[in-house]
Structure formats: structure tokens, C-alpha cells
């Protein structure tokens, strides 16, 4: 007898989607192009340019950060032409090092003048924001989100003219019957590396909702390739700093994807510069199929794409190191368009058998947000510790599976696919249908908990976490049963169905008697508690400065920067007042220190506590500096000028609400890093805290 769940009625919503697809005339044309960013001048960049020259490419897309000031604009253009030929099409778009803010690093307009567009008709401004079509097969849209040009930052938030430019460029390609659409830029949003979401979630979700085939990026000095992502049931949007498995439509182990099913992000920021760390346990790691970074596995190179009407093949071309990766997108029907974003058809990684036992629950949310999902589960045997969770008809998620659970004991789990990836989901306010589906026998569930408190770990029955528990729908009366090694047969009738409904029940195993149903205390008709979304509190430092061992008596309290270095020793200090009415008496959901980088470093920087909070920024020097704790609160791996660095300090902030805190940033690296201070005109340091 299956011991997970019993016969349930499943309710389905029918979605009607109308779309038009235009078939191109039969084409045998194909071509290859390359993509990569973050060059500079040196042996690694030399090797990459030489590989580009050897790879039989029609053109190359350089996604920003070109010379790094290693050469003037004209000299760097000559450097490229000497290796690739004076007429090779080397297309460029600006990175943060070409924004003109630091003259020695160059300005994008000057690079564009000596590496001009050579591929036919171009719309808009080459080097900054433009698009072109190639052989009638593909449209390439190149943009500059969050590049801080001297005339102002280019904003691609929803509703802006630049956001609309991208949207219209994608739509007009579809209308023209162009098979493939690609979007390239320098900066990132989701990444397991050193960077944060700088391009805005609005822009990222526009590209995903429009089913752009591939997004090209650099900036993070490593190589990362996402899985195929799509907006759909269970995934209203992809959010930075979180993972929602419902946004993954294809987790292919064979790296073969279907055109139109979703969007793949490729970060190739190691053409010359390398290597920023990648973190396999990063909260966004679940979105990625492969990542490689870290100096111990150094790899430089670029990404090669070969394209025809029916197929796209990607291949990593390594110029330093031996790393390889590849994937394909197959356009089996030769469609010239992509299913409209409103289509609900997706390819799911998990496909439970139709006769799997299941239970359907209702979930009512008074507010939307990103929910952490916990399951209290009992395993009857050591090999059984998972089930499928489906929300609003989305792709079933494999919950558990490798959690190494003890048997016959209730345990809270929040992981998926046997990995450490936590189960989170972005859900809107209102009613949702939650379905639990059998994956393994001898598994029982008695509690399912949805919480906005990302840090809370439930204990006992989960009452310690502010949460919503799903209720059995008033129209259906199913019950979950905990596992039993020796279930007691019973003649208990099946759950009563509302006579006004005529759904089709799930198939019920009949080879063994139905065990006694035991209702779960959390699955009741009690209305879900109401609560509000977390509130954001931003705190600017009361004091910030730095000290330096090569100027021991000097005070830097009026400086517009704070500096960190290992030689000479430079330590940055920041002090925040947490006696804030927005914090006192509230629950801290998350707290992050945000800093704006003003130079470049690949060194490791460490954030540490400072017990002394009496210091003043206009008084301290290297000689009278406060003592820095040896214990780390966090660390991060360097950064580029213009980067935003965020460090999680949730536990430290939570334990110091109502008083001042001091923190220091130091480094053993001889490659120092500078940040804007509170005296700067913009992008000052800040604590970003979410409370409830």
C-alpha cells in the first residue's frame, strides 16, 4: 500500500493561448560568432584573441571592459586588429570601464570610432545601445544597463524609454519573422560569482518573459551558464538572491534545449581577466547548469556559437586552461518566432506517473512575496525521503531526496533534488492550489509551512516561525497520513466529495486495504493568519573612515573614499546607529552592508566586528585605531570600479538592535580596494535591513 498520500481530487484550470508562428523558407545557411568580455592587455588576452582568430568566426561580440587603461583607446584598437585583421568585425558594447569617469581607462565613443560596426544596417547608437540583424536569421540587441556614463546612469527599469527600446526591439524581430533573438550587455543580475544584481530585476524578467534565446554578459571574471529559465505557473518573476525551482523549465543533463521554452544566460567575463570565485552554495546556484572560476582552476577564453535556422550550438573555447562546456538549442520546426510569454506550455524536469497518489490543498495569502517552504516529513525506511510539490499547476518540484533522514521521526526539510539548495517560491497575494504527489513509498507528511522569514528554522510543530500553513479546501476533504511501518487496515471511507463538483479522482491502489486516516493538525480549515510584507529600513553610517600604515598620524575622516589594503595596511571603519524606531521591537528578516567600489581588486576582503563604538571619524588614525576582532562576519572577493558589493550581516545586526555597531574591513592582499564613503555625493555605504 502506498503510504504517502491517498486518493485525492485534482482540480485543473484550462488556459487558452493563441499565438502566430511564421515558418521561414528552407535555409541551409549557418554561421559562427564569438562572445566574451573583460580583456585588458596581457598574455591571457593575447591568447584569447589568437583563439578568436583561429575559430572561423563571422564576427565577435565584446561585452564590455576592453582595455582597463592598459592602453589608450586607439592603441587598444590597433592591438585587436593586429591579431584579428584590420577588417574583422569586432562589435563592442560598453562596460563600466568605458563609461568615461576615469579618463585613462578610455571612453566607449572613442573605442567605437576605431572598432566600428561592420555588419550592415544598425539601429540606434553603436557601442552603447543598438541592434542589428544578421543573414535574416538572428537579431543581436546590445545595451548598457547601469553603466554610469558621465552624462548619467543608463536606467533600464520597467517603464523607462530604454526598457521600452529593448522590448520593442524583441517584438519587432518576432514580427519580422527573425528566428533567433539575443541580447548582450556587460553587467549581471543572477550570478554565483562576485557581482550582484545591477541591471535590475525588471530588465532580467523582461528578457525571460519575452523568451529571448540567450543573454550574453561579462563583468564577473569567470564562466557561468544558466539553465533554461521561463516565467510561468509558479514563477511570476525571477528574483535576485533567491532560487525558485519553478522558474527552471529545463534542467537538462544532456545540455539540449528546445527553442522557445525559455532563456539561457551565459556569463563569459574571462577573455583576459580572471578569476573571481564562484560559489556552488550561492542562493542563486540553482539557476545555473555549470560554473567555473577561482584561480586554482584558472580558465580564460570566450564562447563560440554556431547558428542555423534549426539549431544553435554553444562551445567554450579555452585559451588558458582546459575547461570545456557546450549546449544546444534545437528549433525542430524551424519556427521563426517564439511562443508568446503568456504560454503555459513548459517542459518539466520531473514528471510523476499519472497514477501517483496525491493530495490537493488550498493556500490563501493576504500578501505576496518570496516564501521559504518547509516540509515536516517522516521516512519509514532509510531510502525514502522525498515527494513532489506542485503549486498552481507548475512543474513538480522534487523535495528532499538525499536529506539523510532518520527513520520513523518527524524532521523539517527545506531542500530540493538532494542538494543544499533551499526551496523558495515567489507567490502573489490570493488563493493558490498546492498539490503533494507521491515520489517514494513509506514517506509521510504532516505539516507544510510557507514563511517570509528566510532565516527561521522551524522546530517542533513549527510554531516558532511566522508562517502560513495550507488548508484543506472546503470543497475537498482529503487527509495526509504519516507513515507507519505496520499500517493498520481499516474500513475508513474515502474522503467525501462536494456533490456540486464533478472532477476526476486520482487512481487509487487497490492491492492492499486502505490504512486508517489520521488528520494532520496543521491541515485544517482554520483561516490562514494575515501578515504584511517585510519593510525596508536603510541606515547610513554615523561615522566612516580608514587608517593607513604609511600615514600613521593622518586622519582621513573627510575623504570621499574608504580604503582597504594589505600593503600598506589600510583598514576601513564604519559605525551605524541601530537605535532606530524602524528596528526596535521588530523581527530582522535580513540585513546587508552595501558598498560601491571605486577601483579594482581581485583580493579577498574581510568584514569583522569592532567592539569599541566610541571612535569618531575625524579623530582616529593608524596610531589610535580601534582594535579589530579576529572573527569574520563575512568576506568578499574583490570587485571592479562601479560594482556594488553586498555582505550579509543579518545575525550581527539582529543581536545589536537598539545600540551602535562598529565594523571594520581589512585584507591581507597587496591589491587594495576602495569604496565610496558617506561624504561622497552618491552611492554612500548603507545597511539595508528588512524587518517584520
Distance CA 611, CA 630 (A): 11
Does residue 517 sit in the same domain as residue 542? Answer: no
Answer whether 155's CB lies under 8 Å from 143's CB: no
523 and 545 share one domain? no
CATH of the domain at 655: 2.60.120
Phi, psi of 108 (to 5 degrees): -55, -35
Predicted local distance difference test score (pLDDT) of residue 408:
79
* Cβ neighbours for 513, distance < 8 A, ≥ 6 positions apart: 1, 489, 490, 491
pLDDT tens across 452-509, in order? Answer: 888 888 988 888 887 766 653 332 223 333 333 222 333 333 233 332 323 333 333 3
CB atoms within 10 A of CB 43: 11
pLDDT (mean) for 117-125? 91
Task: Clarify whether residues 542 and 513 are in a common domain.
Answer: no
Indicate whether 483 and 597 sit together in one domain: no
Spatial neighbors of 175 by CB under 8 A, at least 6 apart, are: none
pLDDT single digits (tens) 590-614:
888 999 888 877 778 899 999 999 9
pLDDT for position 403: 53
Query: Do 487 and 525 belong together in one domain?
Result: yes
Residue 1, domain member (yes or no):
no
pLDDT tops 60 at residue 26:
no
Same domain, 199 and 312: yes
Query: What's the confidence (pLDDT) of residue 409?
Result: 82
Cα–Cα distance measured from residue 199 to residue 185, given in angstroms and rounded to the nearest whole number: 9
- In a shared domain, residues 300 and 178: yes
Q: How far from 657 is each of 165, 281, 470, 583, 691, CA to CA, in Å?
A: 45, 29, 33, 7, 12
Mean pLDDT of the chain: 81
Residue 15 located in a structural domain:
no
Domain stop point among 531, 553, 574: 531
Predicted pLDDT of residue 316: 95
Q: Which of 227, 232, 398 is nearest to 329 (CA)?
A: 227
Indicate the pTM of the whole model: 0.58
Q: Given a cut of 50, is residue 200 above it in pLDDT?
A: yes
Phi, psi of 379 (to 5 degrees): -105, 130
Which percentage of the chain shows pLDDT scores above 70?
A: 82
Q: Are 216 and 348 in contact (CB under 8 A)?
A: no
Q: Which tops the pLDDT comparison, 123 or 474?
A: 123
Residue 514 DSSP SS3? coil
Longest dimension (CA), the chain: 86
Q: Name the residue range of residue 395's domain.
A: 350-531
pLDDT digits (tens, 9 = 90+) for 544-568: 999 999 999 999 999 999 999 988 9
Q: Is residue 338 part of a domain?
A: no
Domain-ending residue, one of 531, 565, 581: 531
Element (H, E) at 43: helix 43-54
Higher per-residue pLDDT: 47 or 296: 47
CATH of the domain at 380: 2.60.120.260
Using the 3D structure, point to which of 531, 559, 576 is the last residue of a domain: 531
16 occurs within a structural domain: no
Question: Into how many domains does the chain fold?
Answer: 3
Amino acid at each position: 500500500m502506498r503510504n504517502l498520500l491517498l486518493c485525492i481530487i485534482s482540480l485543473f484550470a484550462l488556459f487558452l493561448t493563441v499565438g502566430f508562428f511564421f515558418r521561414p523558407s528552407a535555409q541551409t545557411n549557418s554561421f559562427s560568432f564569438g562572445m566574451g568580455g573583460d580583456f585588458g592587455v596581457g598574455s591571457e588576452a593575447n591568447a584569447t584573441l589568437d583563439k578568436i582568430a583561429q575559430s572561423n568566426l563571422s564576427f565577435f561580440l565584446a561585452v564590455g571592459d576592453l582595455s582597463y587603461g592598459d592602453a589608450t583607446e586607439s592603441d587598444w584598437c590597433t592591438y585587436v586588429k593586429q591579431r584579428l585583421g584590420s577588417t574583422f568585425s569586432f562589435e563592442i558594447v560598453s562596460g563600466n570601464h568605458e563609461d568615461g569617469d576615469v579618463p585613462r581607462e578610455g571612453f566607449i565613443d572613442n573605442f567605437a570610432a576605431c572598432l566600428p560596426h561592420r555588419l550592415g544596417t544598425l539601429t540606434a547608437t553603436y557601442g552603447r545601445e543598438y541592434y542589428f540583424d544578421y543573414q535574416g536569421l538572428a537579431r543581436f540587441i546590445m545595451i548598457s544597463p547601469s553603466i554610469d556614463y558621465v552624462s548619467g546612469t543608463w536606467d533600464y527599469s520597467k517603464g523607462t524609454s530604454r526598457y521600452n527600446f529593448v522590448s520593442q526591439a524583441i517584438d519587432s524581430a518576432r514580427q519580422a519573422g527573425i528566428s533567433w533573438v539575443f541580447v548582450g550587455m556587460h553587467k549581471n543580475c543572477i550570478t554565483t560569482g562576485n557581482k550582484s544584481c545591477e541591471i535590475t530585476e525588471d530588465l532580467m524578467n523582461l528578457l525571460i518573459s519575452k523568451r529571448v534565446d540567450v543573454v550574453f554578459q561579462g563583468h564577473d571574471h569567470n564562466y557561468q551558464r544558466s539553465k533554461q529559465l521561463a516565467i510561468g505557473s509558479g514563477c511570476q518573476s525571477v528574483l535576485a538572491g533567491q532560487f525558485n525551482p519553478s522558474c527552471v523549465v529545463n534542467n537538462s543533463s544532456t545540455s539540449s534545449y528546445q527553442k522557445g521554452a525559455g532563456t539561457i544566460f551565459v556569463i563569459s567575463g574571462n577573455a583576459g581577466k580572471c578569476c573571481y570565485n564562484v560559489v556552488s552554495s550561492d542562493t542563486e546556484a540553482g539557476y545555473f547548469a555549470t560554473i567555473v572560476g577561482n584561480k586554482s582552476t584558472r580558465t580564460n577564453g570566450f564562447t563560440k556559437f554556431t547558428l542555423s535556422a534549426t539549431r544553435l550550438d554553444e562551445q567554450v573555447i579555452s585559451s588558458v586552461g582546459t575547461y570545456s562546456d557546450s549546449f544546444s538549442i534545437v528549433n525542430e520546426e524551424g519556427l521563426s518566432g517564439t511562443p508568446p510569454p503568456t504560454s503555459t506550455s513548459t517542459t518539466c524536469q520531473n514528471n510523476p506517473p499519472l497514477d501517483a497518489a496525491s493530495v490537493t490543498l488550498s493556500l490563501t495569502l493576504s500578501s505576496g512575496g518570496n516564501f521559504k517552504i518547509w516540509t515536516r516529513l517522516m521516512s519509514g525506511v532509510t531510502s525514502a525521503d522525498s515527494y513532489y510539490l506542485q503549486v498552481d499547476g507548475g512543474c513538480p518540484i522534487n523535495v528532499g531526496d538525499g536529506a539523510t533522514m532518520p527513520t520513523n521521526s518527524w524532521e523539517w526539510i527545506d531542500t530540493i533534488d538532494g542538494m543544499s539548495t533551499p526551496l523558495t517560491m515567489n507567490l502573489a497575494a490570493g488563493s493558490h492550489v498546492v498539490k503533494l504527489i507521491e515520489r517514494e513509498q513509506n514517506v509521510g507528511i504532516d505539516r507544510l509551512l510557507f514563511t517570509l522569514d528566510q532565516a527561521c528554522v522551524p522546530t517542533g510543530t513549527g510554531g516558532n516561525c511566522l508562517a502560513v500553513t495550507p488548508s484543506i479546501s472546503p470543497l475537498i476533504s482529503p487527509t495526509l497520513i504519516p507513515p507507519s511501518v505496520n499500517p493498520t487496515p481499516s474500513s475508513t471511507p474515502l474522503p467525501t466529495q462536494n456533490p456540486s463538483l464533478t472532477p476526476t479522482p486520482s487512481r487509487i491502489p487497490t492491492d492492499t486495504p486502505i490504512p486508517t486516516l489520521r488528520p494532520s493538525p496543521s491541515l485544517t480549515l482554520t483561516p490562514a493568519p494575515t501578515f504584511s510584507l517585510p519593510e525596508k529600513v536603510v541606515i547610513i553610517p554615523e561615522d566612516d573612515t580608514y587608517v593607513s600604515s604609511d600615514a600613521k598620524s593622518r586622519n582621513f575622516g573627510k575623504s570621499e573614499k574608504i580604503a582597504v589594503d594589505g600593503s600598506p595596511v589600510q583598514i576601513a571603519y564604519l559605525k551605524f546607529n541601530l537605535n532606530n524606531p524602524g528596528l526596535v521591537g521588530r523581527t530582522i528578516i535580513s540585513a546587508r552592508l552595501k558598498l560601491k567600489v571605486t577601483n579594482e581588486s581581485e583580493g579577498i576582503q574581510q568584514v569583522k566586528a569592532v567592539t569599541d563604538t566610541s571612535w569618531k571619524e575625524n579623530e582616529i588614525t593608524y596610531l589610535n585605531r580601534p582594535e579589530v576582532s579576529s572573527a569574520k562576519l563575512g568576506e568578499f572577493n574583490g570587485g571592479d570600479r562601479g560594482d556594488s558589493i553586498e555582505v550579509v550581516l543579518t545575525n550581527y545586526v539582529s543581536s545589536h538592535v537598539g545600540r551602535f555597531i562598529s565594523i571594520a574591513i581589512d585584507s591581507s592582499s597587496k591589491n587594495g580596494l576602495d569604496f565610496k564613503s558617506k561624504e561622497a555625493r552618491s552611492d554612500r555605504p548603507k545597511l539595508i535591513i528588512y524587518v517584520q
